Structures are given as structure tokens and as C-alpha cells.
């Protein structure tokens, strides 16, 4: 969906530029036709008027205000007057020779500025003004909510009364926490469990199923059972308990 939005924004910007170019060429064609008609029908008059205009501009450039210095001595045209007169001559010459009307050129620049504004905000080409970008920022900065509390028990004792693998519950609790769950009690399970099992209290079966799925890469397919009273006493109120069995003692 985002790709389609970007493609639509680019096509809209290209279409806007095409319309601007078409309008520019239309105005230019009309201007050139008007100039051709003028030159064809009034060539002598235009030449005389041009010569008169150049003479007037030259007179303005050579007869500016007189700058009188100390002692009443005439210093001739001031630098500001010379710059002003020369600039006027160059502007008039540019306007006469340029194939592009300065007004049209200014309009084209304004159209480009408007097009850039539309592309960056209206179409959302660069993500400006898009609520989706704000949502992404807020969601990335928001703290991740922890899942249900899970008790982790060491049930790796090979037989009743024997000692299980040391540190298994601690290692398993780190895996549970990495999966996004809140770790509750970390204890030794009563008795021996040949295979790991996830136990749950009434109403927490879906949480137990989710935990088993999240830890499947480490523990493989894990049985899900209703929590026994002995495990419930050690779980410390956690609705879900992971009991690590002998088959997973090497984690």
C-alpha cells in the first residue's frame, strides 16, 4: 500500500510538471507569433523607435546628476548614477533579446515552488504531514508491554529426591523474559519430570499455549496441562508455570 502511495505521488508530481511546461510553451508560442507580426508589419517604425530609445538611454547614462565636491569643483557622474543607468540599459537589452518573457519565467519558478510544496505535503512523497509517520514514531518510542507472569521451575531431577541440573531454572527464566513475559518465582519443582511441561491455572490456557509456541525453538513441542496444587504453591500466584524437564536439562 505504501508503494502505491509513493508511485501515485511521483506520477502526480510528473503530471503537474507536464502541465506547467505545456502552459509555458503555449504562452511562448503566442509571444513569438505576436513578435513576428510586429516585425513583419512595422519593421521601419520599430527600428526608428529602437534607435530613439537607445539614444535616450545613452543620454541618461552620460548625463546623471552632477556631483559637486569641495570648492565647487564638478566631479562628473556619481558611481550610483552610473550603476543605475547601466543596469537599466542591460535590463532593457535583456528584455528585448530574451526569447522568454520575464513574467512567464517568474510564473514558471513560482509553479516549480508550488509543485515542490505539493509533492512534499499534499502527496506525502517524503512523508510530510502523514499521520502514519507519527504513528510509527509513537509506537517505536512506546515501551513494550510485558505478557503474563510465568513461574519457572527446575524439574530435571532424574528421580524423586535427587538433585536436578544446576542453573536450569535461571537459564530458562532468561529465555522466558526474552520472549516478552514477566518472570515470577524461580524454584525447584517437586519430584522429577521426564519432559518439560507448561502448566496453567483456570482461565490462562491461552497464555500457556502462547508461551509454549514462543519457546518452541528451544524446548520443541511442549505439553500443556492444568496446574497441580504442588506447582501452584511454588508458582507464587503466577497463572502460568514452565517446568523444565530432564529432556531439556542441557539448555
Domain extent listing, the chain: 2-136, 149-248
Residue 3 burial (CB count, 10 A)? 7
DSSP class of 237: T
In degrees, rounded to 5, the angle at the alpha carbon of residue 114 between the alpha carbons of residues 112 and 116 is 70
Do 240 and 198 contact (CB within 8 A), yes or no? yes
| CA pseudo-torsion sign 37, 39, 44, 49 | positive
Burial of 188 (C-beta count, 10 Å sphere; 0-12/13-18/19+): middle
* pLDDT < 50 stretches in the chain: 65, 123-143
Query: Which pLDDT score is estimated for 18?
Result: 78
| CA pseudo-torsion sign 22, 28, 31, 32 | negative
Query: Which pLDDT score is estimated for 98?
Result: 60
30 vs 108: CA distance, rounded Å? 16
Query: Which pLDDT score is estimated for 119?
Result: 61
The 3-state DSSP composition of the chain as helix, strand, coil percent (nearest 5) reads: 60, 15, 25
Query: Which pLDDT score is estimated for 196?
Result: 94
Helical pair 2-41 and 102-117, crossing angle rounded to 10 deg? 170
**Domain 149-248 belongs in CATH node 3.30.720.120:** no
Amino acid at each position: 500500500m505504501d508503494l502505491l502511495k509513493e508511485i501515485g505521488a511521483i506520477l502526480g508530481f510528473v503530471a503537474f510538471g507536464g502541465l506547467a511546461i505545456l502552459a509555458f510553451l503555449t504562452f511562448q508560442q503566442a509571444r513569438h507569433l505576436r513578435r513576428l507580426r510586429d516585425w513583419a508589419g512595422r519593421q521601419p517604425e520599430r527600428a526608428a523607435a529602437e534607435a530613439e530609445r537607445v539614444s535616450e538611454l545613452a543620454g541618461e547614462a552620460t548625463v546623471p546628476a552632477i556631483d559637486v565636491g569641495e570648492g565647487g569643483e564638478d566631479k562628473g557622474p556619481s558611481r550610483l548614477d552610473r550603476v543605475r543607468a547601466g543596469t537599466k540599459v542591460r535590463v532593457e537589452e535583456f528584455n528585448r533579446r530574451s526569447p522568454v518573457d520575464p513574467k512567464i519565467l517568474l510564473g514558471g519558478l513560482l509553479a516549480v515552488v508550488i509543485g515542490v510544496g505539493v509533492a512534499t505535503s499534499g502527496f506525502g512523497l517524503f512523508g510530510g504531514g502523514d499521520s502514519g509517520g507519527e504513528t510509527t514514531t509513537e509506537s517505536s518510542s512506546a515501551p513494550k508491554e510485558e505478557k503474563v507472569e510465568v513461574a519457572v521451575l527446575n524439574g530435571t531431577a532424574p528421580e524423586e529426591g535427587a538433585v536436578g541440573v544446576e542453573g536450569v531454572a535461571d537459564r530458562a527464566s532468561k529465555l522466558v523474559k526474552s520472549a516478552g513475559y514477566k518472570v515470577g518465582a524461580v524454584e525447584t519443582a517437586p519430584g522429577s519430570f521426564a519432559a518439560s511441561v507448561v502448566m496453567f491455572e483456570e482461565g490462562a490456557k491461552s497464555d500457556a499455549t502462547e508461551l509454549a509456541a514462543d519457546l518452541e525453538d528451544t524446548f520443541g513441542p511442549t505439553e500443556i496441562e492444568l496446574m497441580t496444587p504442588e506447582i501452584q504453591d511454588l508458582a507464587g500466584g503466577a497463572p502460568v508455570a514452565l517446568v523444565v524437564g530432564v529432556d531439556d536439562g542441557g539448555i
